[in-house]
Amino acid sequence: MQLQGLNKSFDGQQVLKDITLELPEKKTTVIVGPSGSGKSTLLRSLNLLERPESGHYELSSLAIDFSHEISTKQLLNVRKKTGMVFQDYNLFPHKTVIQNVTEGPIQVLKKNKKEVHKEGLALLDKVGLAAKADAYPEQLSGGQSQRVAIARSLAMHPEYILLDEPTSALDPELEAEVLHVLAELAQERQSLVIVTHNLFFARQIADKIIFIEDGQVIFDGDPQDFFDENQKSSRISRFISAMT
């Protein structure tokens, strides 16, 4: 997917400034940057949860010009191709784990219930939660909840999975379970865009790093260059030393 010249303001304050980026298919792109720099707004724009005032967005065969109105059809197409995973999981509290995973494919994609159920169980197995299929979200740890949220996203077969600080609410050991699942998806070449504060993980998993500060792209490139000890940008080296 590609963004060109994206601008977004809230109440007259510009929070995304002329963002031009490529988020490659079948790769893992990690977005980092200080709090309030615009990372969530950028990620949410990819799913059309936010509407930039201007800019172009290309997602496989879809092309969107943000300065024009977005049709319902475009909105549904973008939502179909992008799955969002939130920091606080957003599971349906009154549905079981397997129902959380199968709800979308049954209700939205109108898929065959039996097949969806079977695939849902396979996805739960993939994230290490086959035994929790009939549990309710309140019976899960944070790490388990987030893995259900990832399985739920996978069940929709989006082209890209977008994750906004998926482990920020978790203790380190629970975080590790989730990072393990993400590393596996990355290895399977699922296209991922991950916002995270975990630079250690970013370094391990990223094919590409994007550093955003004050609504602007400061760095867009190779993790190796970003973490280079001779990092020439003082803004980046200051950020890295503050975070590690």
Q: Where along the sequence are the contacts to ligand ADP (CB under 6 A)? A: 10-11, 15, 33, 35-41
Query: Which residues here bind Mg ion, judged by CB under 5 A?
Result: 40
Q: Is 229 helix (H, G, I), strand (E, B) or coil?
A: coil
How far is it, in rounded angstroms, from Cα 210 to Cα 190? Answer: 18
Going along the chain, which residue ranges are E strands?
2-10, 13-22, 28-32, 54-59, 62-65, 82-85, 160-164, 191-195, 208-213, 216-221
Identity of the residue, 86 or 160, whose beta carbon is nearer to ligand ADP in the bound complex: 86
Residue nearest to Mg ion (CB): 40
User: Which one of Mg ion, ligand ADP, none interacts with residue 41, CB within 5 to 8 A by kind?
Assistant: ligand ADP
Q: Give, as one character, the DSSP assignment of residue 71.
A: P
Helices (H) and strands (E) in the chain, counts: 9, 10
- Closest separation between CB of residue 133 and ligand ADP, Å? 33
Residue 223 touches which of Mg ion, ligand ADP, none (Cβ within 5-8 Å per kind): none
Give the nearest distance from C-beta 47 to Mg ion in angstroms: 14
With CB cut-offs between 5 and 8 Å by kind, which of ligand ADP, Mg ion, none does residue 229 bind?
none
Q: Which amino acid is at 218?
A: I
| Cβ proximity to ligand ADP, 95 vs 197, nearer residue | 197
Nearest approach in angstroms of CB 8 to ligand ADP is 8
Nearer to ligand ADP, 82 or 144 (CB): 82
Question: Within 10 Å of residue 211's Cβ, how many Cβ atoms?
Answer: 23
User: Bridge-partner residues for 210, per DSSP?
Assistant: 31, 220
Smallest gap from Cβ 87 to Mg ion, in A, equals: 8
Q: Tell me whether residue 49 or residue 130 sits nearer to Mg ion (CB atom).
A: 49
Among Mg ion, ligand ADP, none, partner that 198 touches (CB below 5 to 8 angstroms by kind):
none
CA distance 131 to 108: 26
CA angle 184, 154, 111 (to 5 degrees): 150
Of 39 and 208, the one with the shorter C-beta distance to ligand ADP is 39
Minimum distance between the CB of residue 149 and ligand ADP, rounded to whole angstroms?
18
